[in-house]
Amino acid sequence: MFKSFQHDDVFVVSCGNKIGGKVLYWANLYFYRNIMVDSGCSHTAKELRSFLLERNLKPEALLITHYHEDHIGGASVLELPVYAGEKTIPLLENPPEIPDYRKIVWGQPEGVSAKTIEGRMNFGEVEVLTIETPGHSFDHVCFLIDDKLFMGDLVGSRKPIICMREENYLEVIQSLEKILKLDFRYAYGGALILSKEEVEENLRYLLELKAKVNELYSSGLEVEEIVERLFGKPPQKVLLMENVSGKEWARENLVRSLIELN
């Protein structure tokens, strides 16, 4: 299923798979000038191809921010040159097997060949600056085009209380500090669109959360106790996600990823 709208001069497409008649999680992909960023999930891949034909959208290149299935799933059915960071390419060619619950929501992606995107590249008259931004995943990159930052899942929530097991929020903080040195008006993410000021607010939240976590950890509290102290009454959706994912998504993951061991 798709829904689309214009934000500034970026064309936004949100895609998602209906489960029980409802899309549980939407993922954004973007069209700006002659560039497409990310490609949604496998469940909507054929629909995406038809959507591009119907709208007469003919981007010169598809840029991928990271290897997760909700960002690479449509790439294999599009007749477009695909570009990604050097660390992402092996996972695009041979996507790892994902857990069953993620297959239901997004689908297992198929492999696709890609070219390495360099620090600065030109696609016609469009210059793309690629910035390495690990944290959400080890291979994550962002793309700056004009005054627009395409940030993948660097910011997945304004005030996160849950994250994936593989995420490293100390690295997320460093990556946010890096991109905030750039000149952009809006940041276009997999789940939300933020102004630069809102990205700054997200960084402040994470810095404050990191300080609280480390103060409690230094006082002798275990991770589970810190979770209870800081996130003891989460929304029902968070509890459901922890249960369904076998805690691949969990509050404990976020706390652990913020603890400074040195």
Three-state DSSP string of 21-56:
CEECCCEEEEEECCEEECCCCHHHHHHHHHHHHHHC
**Residues 221-249: what's their mean pLDDT?**
96
Cα–Cα distance, 143 to 128 (Å, whole number): 6
pLDDT tens, 103-145? 999 999 999 999 999 899 999 999 999 999 999 999 999 999 9
Which residue has tokens 């629909």?
47
Q: How is residue 70 written in tokens?
A: 């909700």
% of the chain residues with pLDDT over 90: 92
Q: Are 26 and 71 in contact (CB under 8 A)?
A: no
Residue whose C-alpha is closest to residue 172's, from 205, 143, 133, 200: 133
List beta partners, residue 35.
32, 61
For 240, the 3-state DSSP assignment is: helix
pLDDT 10s digits, 175-194: 999 999 999 999 999 999 99
The CB density around residue 4, as the number of other CB atoms within 10 Å, is: 14
Contact 172, 193 (CB under 8 A): no
Taking a C-beta distance cutoff of 8 angstroms, is the pair 95, 111 a contact? yes
261: pLDDT confidence band, cut at 50, 70 and 90? confident
What mean pLDDT, rounded, does the chain reach? 96
Domains of the chain, first to last: 2-209 (3.60.15.10)
Whole-model pTM: value is 0.96
- Under a CB-based contact definition with an 8 Å cutoff, are residues 235 and 157 in contact? no
Both structure tokens of 137: 């995943």
Instruction: Give the position of tokens 């929501």.
Output: 105
Predicted confidence (pLDDT) per residue in 11-36, tens digit:
999 999 988 888 888 999 999 999 99
Identify residue 124 by its one-letter amino acid code. G
Contact 107, 98 (CB under 8 A): no
State mean pLDDT over 28-48.
Answer: 96
Residues belonging to the chain? 262
C-alpha–C-alpha distance, residues 135 and 166, integer Å = 8
* Distance, CA of 76 to CA of 13 (rounded, Å): 18
pLDDT recorded at residue 166: 97
Report the distance separating Cα 185 and Cα 10, nearest Å: 12
Pairing of strands 148-152, 186-189: parallel
Q: What is the mean pLDDT of residues 88-107?
A: 96
